């Protein structure tokens, strides 16, 4: 897939009028997305209905965790009514050399890659390139005629696995919602879900393989469940990145750069960190504070062979906020339209109904790449019906609350249960700071 290049000519990328004028005039200057017109403006919290004193608790509480050695450092950004109410860098960017955290430190965002890939898929859908309920095999033949691994309990109590033809094949929509029957190599082993071990045995996600090779491997494995019946966190967004490449005829890194990152001004977001930017790369402790085991993170200081749509991106708090503000603004940001308003509404609505599995937590359903809150109650943290977001395995998290016109991004680098702890903590501290 990475060998393909160029556009298929169906939908040319529009060049803003100012850039066209500059080209006609023989000037190579491209207007900056930043500067005085930059929409990421700071405001006093009180201007946007938040309390300065209460927001300060974010720094106090997270700062105490930094001092206690629970995390090296963090960057926290909170926006309300289109303005930054809080942006702070805490602790260390790199505990190995003592470098202080910066507001523009670059983080491995892992699964926060998925909403970006979802946006890319939906951009192509808006162009009429496919129907969202098309079988994925229509575009990726390696995934044709998949079978389902069915667990049968014998009279001796042991589990036997048999492969049976799937009653239906996974669709693009089901892959976007993690209900396509695919699995993941990082999930805990379970006799009721033998495909998880098959993914590990097949070395799914090997960084020395290409995206096309990963898709082909998945096609040789069975489904963990009948498509449309179970929500299971999966490798589906790697498959969806492959879909973007095949349909657009553009490698996924170039598609995201030209269609999303550059238009939104996300200058520090991509699949690797180049040149002098490496000095801004946030790093974890060498060993996790609690289990004491080494902390493995993906290599991002050189171009990767595997461009993982599941979790390969790096970004900064401000860059990712540009993406979230595009969603807050119903698909547009700083005069650039990425998605249509109705598409954003569709993506951020619950898509799975009664289907359940090891989801985000109680009170949540799932949209197209996002966990979506179904009610104010049930979840172990505050929020509004209809808020949505997702997190990354190395300690990053974001959410968007349309009813409160609020978005927050939390960036840290620590694996494990820390993600779930800070997801609850940051939401609690942000919501308690809203005064009207």
- Is the per-residue pLDDT at 27 higher than 90? no
User: Of the candidates 247, 265, 297, which is a domain's last residue?
Assistant: 247
On whether both 283 and 396 belong to a single domain, the answer is yes
- Which stretch of 25-29, 120-124, 141-145, 241-245 has the lowest confidence by average pLDDT? 25-29
- When pLDDT is averaged across residues 312-338 and rounded to a whole number, the result is 97
- Is the per-residue pLDDT at 50 higher than 50? yes
Q: What CATH number has the domain bearing residue 362?
A: 3.40.710.10
On whether both 280 and 240 belong to a single domain, the answer is no
On whether both 287 and 411 belong to a single domain, the answer is yes
On whether both 233 and 353 belong to a single domain, the answer is no
- Is the per-residue pLDDT at 318 higher than 70? yes
**What DSSP assignment string belongs to 253-320?**
HHHHIIIIIHHHT-TT-BSS--GGGGGGB----SB-TTT--B------SS--SS--TTT--EE-HHHH
- Is the per-residue pLDDT at 307 higher than 90? yes
* Angle, alpha carbons 106-1-274 (nearest 5°): 25
Per-residue pLDDT, 245: 98
User: Of the candidates 247, 265, 295, which is a domain's last residue?
Assistant: 247
Tally of residues, the chain:
436
**Closest to 296 in 3D by CA, of 414, 419, 210, 187:** 414
Q: What CATH number has the domain bearing residue 219?
A: 1.20.58
d(CA 89, CA 101): 6
On whether both 271 and 197 belong to a single domain, the answer is no
What value does the mean pLDDT of the chain take?
Answer: 88
Residue 99: C-alpha distances to residues 263, 279, 298, 299 (Å): 31, 9, 20, 20
Counts of helices then strands in the chain (DSSP H, E): 12, 15
Q: How many domains does the chain have?
A: 2
Per-residue pLDDT, 154: 74
Asked if residue 379 is part of any domain, the answer here is: yes
- When pLDDT is averaged across residues 367-373 and rounded to a whole number, the result is 95
- Is the per-residue pLDDT at 10 higher than 80? no
On whether both 233 and 278 belong to a single domain, the answer is no
- When pLDDT is averaged across residues 162-184 and rounded to a whole number, the result is 95
Asked if residue 388 is part of any domain, the answer here is: yes
- Is the per-residue pLDDT at 35 higher than 50? no
Name the more confident of 204 and 1: 204
- When pLDDT is averaged across residues 50-79 and rounded to a whole number, the result is 96
Asked if residue 31 is part of any domain, the answer here is: no
- Is the per-residue pLDDT at 304 higher than 50? yes
Per-residue pLDDT, 192: 65
On whether both 101 and 138 belong to a single domain, the answer is no
User: Of the candidates 224, 247, 270, which is a domain's last residue?
Assistant: 247
Would you put residue 124 in left (φ > 0), alpha (ψ -120 to 50) or beta? alpha
Find residue 160's DSSP bridge partners: 152
Lookup result for tokens 């991106």: 313
Q: What is the percent of the chain with per-residue pLDDT over 70, rounded to a whole number?
A: 89
Per-residue pLDDT, 29: 32
Burial class (CB in 10 A: 0-12, 13-18, 19+), 432: middle
On whether both 395 and 362 belong to a single domain, the answer is yes
- Which stretch of 341-350, 361-370, 394-403 has the lowest confidence by average pLDDT? 361-370
On whether both 402 and 307 belong to a single domain, the answer is yes
- When pLDDT is averaged across residues 248-270 and rounded to a whole number, the result is 97
Asked if residue 2 is part of any domain, the answer here is: no
Per-residue pLDDT, 26: 34
Asked if residue 119 is part of any domain, the answer here is: no
Tens of pLDDT, residues 131-168 = 999 999 999 999 999 999 998 877 777 778 899 999 99
On whether both 236 and 262 belong to a single domain, the answer is no
Domain range for 141 is 132-247
- Is the per-residue pLDDT at 83 higher than 90? yes
Per-residue pLDDT, 36: 42
On whether both 192 and 164 belong to a single domain, the answer is yes
Asked if residue 15 is part of any domain, the answer here is: no
Asked if residue 166 is part of any domain, the answer here is: yes
Per-residue pLDDT, 359: 64
On whether both 138 and 209 belong to a single domain, the answer is yes
Asked if residue 156 is part of any domain, the answer here is: yes
Per-residue pLDDT, 17: 40
């Amino acid at each position: 897939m990475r060998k393909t290049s160029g556009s298929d000519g169906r939908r040319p990328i529009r060049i803003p009028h100012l850039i066209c004028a500059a080209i006609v005039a023989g000037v190579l200057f491209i207007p900056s997305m930043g500067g005085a017109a930059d929409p990421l403006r700071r405001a006093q919290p009180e201007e946007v209905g938040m309390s300065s004193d209460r927001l300060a608790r974010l720094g106090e509480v997270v700062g105490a965790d930094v001092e206690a050695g629970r995390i090296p450092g963090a960057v926290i950004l909170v926006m309300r009514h289109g303005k930054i109410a809080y942006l702070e860098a805490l602790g260390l960017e790199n505990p190995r050399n003592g470098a202080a955290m910066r507001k523009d430190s670059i983080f491995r965002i892992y699964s926060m890659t998925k909403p970006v890939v979802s946006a890319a898929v939906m951009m192509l859908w808006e162009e009429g390139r496919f129907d969202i309920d098309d079988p994925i095999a229509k575009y990726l033949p390696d995934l044709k005629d998949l079978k389902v691994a069915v667990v049968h309990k014998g009279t001796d109590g042991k589990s036997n696995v048999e492969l049976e033809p799937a009653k239906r094949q996974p669709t693009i929509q089901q892959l976007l919602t993690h209900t396509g029957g695919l699995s993941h190599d990082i999930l805990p082993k379970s006799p009721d879900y033998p495909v998880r071990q098959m993914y590990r045995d097949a070395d799914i996600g090997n960084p020395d393989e290409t995206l096309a090779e990963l898709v082909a491997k998945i096609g040789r494995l069975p489904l963990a469940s009948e498509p449309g019946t179970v929500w299971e966190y999966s490798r589906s967004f790697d498959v969806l990145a492959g879909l973007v490449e095949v349909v657009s005829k553009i490698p996924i890194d170039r598609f995201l750069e030209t269609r999303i990152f550059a238009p939104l001004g996300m200058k520090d977001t991509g699949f690797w960190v180049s040149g002098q930017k490496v000095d801004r790369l946030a790093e974890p402790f060498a060993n996790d504070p609690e289990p004491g085991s080494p902390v493995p993170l993906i290599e991002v200081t050189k171009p990767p062979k595997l461009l993982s749509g599941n979790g390969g991106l790096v970004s900064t708090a401000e860059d990712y906020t540009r993406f979230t503000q595009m969603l807050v603004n119903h698909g547009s940001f700083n005069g650039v339209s990425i998605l249509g308003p109705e598409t954003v509404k569709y993506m951020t609505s619950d898509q799975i109904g009664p289907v359940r599995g090891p989801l985000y937590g109680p009170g949540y359903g799932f949209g197209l790449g996002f966990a979506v809150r179904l009610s104010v109650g049930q979840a172990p943290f505050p929020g509004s019906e209809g808020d949505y977001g997702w997190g990354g395995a190395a300690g990053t998290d974001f959410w968007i609350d349309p009813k409160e016109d609020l978005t927050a991004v939390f960036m840290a680098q620590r694996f494990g249960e820390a993600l779930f702890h800070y997801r609850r903590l940051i939401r609690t501290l942000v919501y308690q700071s809203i005064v009207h």
